[in-house]
């Protein structure tokens, strides 16, 4: 008998899940996980960058964990998550200490290099909060299709670093919550005005942490619409053998 289960909260759909270790150019070992579709190759890959570790951000921050739980099966997307230097999660602790978004350049580069070494296709950076700073500061010269920014605070990213994206052929999109604690859509439009090709998506009713299934579904659908639009919108139920 086939039953339907609601896809929400911590539902974990089928995927090949592999514990991985990244090695940075300055010699650190970072812990992470790679989630792949079962029985078929991925069509695209998310290299995820978590929120600020000094304020509770890590590879299991809920949007990133739910992306890994759902998108390999629902959208044929590989999801690479990892802890930046000095960050701890149930997977373990990455070596090193928090680098204020400076030495984390090596962490981003190690994650992209790992994805390349596995010949994963169509790499996208997906940063959330602090992770958006890393994507903006260091992603313009990386071999990625583009970057997706969730709740960008633009605290650590300079105008010069934003300008590094001017003229880039890479896709750049920002999801900005209406009630964000740091950067609301109107201000984001001003700060990003030097990047006319950036797709700015203001999300009504949302907050910085994207709490609740409505917010989670909106974020994941926007990601899929950019990365593998043929799989958008995502289903909200899943057949379960019972």
Between CA 198 and CA 194 the distance in angstroms is: 9
The domain spanning residue 77 has which CATH number? 3.40.50.1820
Measure Cα distances from 221 to 137, 207, 228 in Å: 25, 17, 10
Pairing of strands 77-82, 88-89: unpaired
Quote the domain boundaries for residue 179: 2-241
Inform me whether the pLDDT recorded for 82 exceeds 90. Answer: yes
Q: List CB contacts of 42: < 8 A, sequence separation 6 or more.
A: 36, 72, 76, 77, 78, 120, 121
Q: Mean pLDDT for the chain?
A: 97
Residue 171: per-residue pLDDT: 98
H helix or E strand, kind and range, residue 218: helix 213-227
Other beta carbons less than 10 A from residue 149's beta carbon: 31
Q: pLDDT value at position 10?
A: 86
Residue 241 pLDDT exceeds 70: no
In this predicted model, what pLDDT tens digit does every residue of 194-215 receive, in sequence order?
999 999 999 999 999 999 999 9
Q: Provide the strand spans (E) within 120-195.
A: 123-128, 146-150, 171-177
Q: Can you give the pLDDT at residue 2?
A: 72
- Tokens representing residue 220 in the block: 């994941």
What is the model's pLDDT at position 191?
Answer: 97
Please state whether the predicted TM-score (pTM) of the whole model is above 0.75: yes
CA atoms within 13 A on the CB side of 118: 24
Q: What is the mean pLDDT of residues 42-62?
A: 98
Instruction: Grade residue 77 by pLDDT with cuts at 50, 70 and 90.
Output: very high
Question: Which residues, listed in sequence order, are joined to residue 132 by a DSSP beta bridge?
Answer: none
Tell me, what's the pLDDT at 165? 98
Average pLDDT of the residues in 95-99: 98
Residues in CB range of 154: below 8 A, 6 or more apart = 132, 133, 136, 182, 183, 188, 191
Q: How many folded domains does the chain comprise?
A: 1
Contact assessment for residue 211 and residue 128, using Cβ atoms and an 8 Å cutoff:
no
Q: What is the pLDDT of residues 221-239, one digit of tens each?
A: 999 999 999 999 999 999 9
Quick one: pLDDT band at residue 3, thresholds 50, 70, 90? confident
pLDDT of residue 1: 54
Q: What is the pLDDT of residues 179-195, one digit of tens each?
A: 999 999 999 999 999 99
């Amino acid at each position: 008998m086939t039953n339907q289960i609601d896809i929400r909260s911590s539902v974990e759909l089928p995927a090949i899940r592999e514990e991985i270790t990244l090695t940075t150019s300055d010699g650190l070992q970072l812990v992470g996980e790679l989630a792949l579709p079962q029985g078929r190759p991925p069509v695209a890959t998310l290299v995820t960058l978590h929120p600020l570790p000094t304020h509770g951000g890590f590879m299991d921050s809920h949007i990133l964990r739910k992306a890994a739980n759902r998108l390999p099966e629902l959208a044929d997307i590989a999801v690479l998550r990892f802890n930046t230097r000095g960050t701890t999660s149930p997977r373990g602790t990455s070596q090193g200490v928090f680098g204020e978004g400076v030495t984390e350049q090596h962490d981003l580069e190690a994650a992209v290099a790992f994805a390349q070494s596995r010949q994963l296709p169509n790499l996208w950076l997906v940063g959330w909060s602090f992770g958006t700073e890393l994507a903006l500061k260091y992603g313009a010269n990386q071999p990625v299709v583009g970057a997706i920014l969730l709740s960008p605070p633009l605290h650590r990213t300079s105008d010069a670093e934003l300008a590094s994206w001017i003229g880039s052929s890479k896709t750049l999109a920002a999801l900005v919550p209406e009630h964000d604690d740091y950067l609301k859509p109107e201000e984001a439009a001003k700060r990003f005005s030097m990047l006319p090709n950036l797709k700015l998506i203001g999300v009504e009713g949302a907050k910085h942490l994207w709490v609740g299934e409505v917010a989670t579904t909106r974020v994941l659908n926007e990601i899929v619409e950019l990365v593998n639009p043929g799989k958008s919108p995502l289903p909200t139920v899943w057949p379960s053998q019972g």
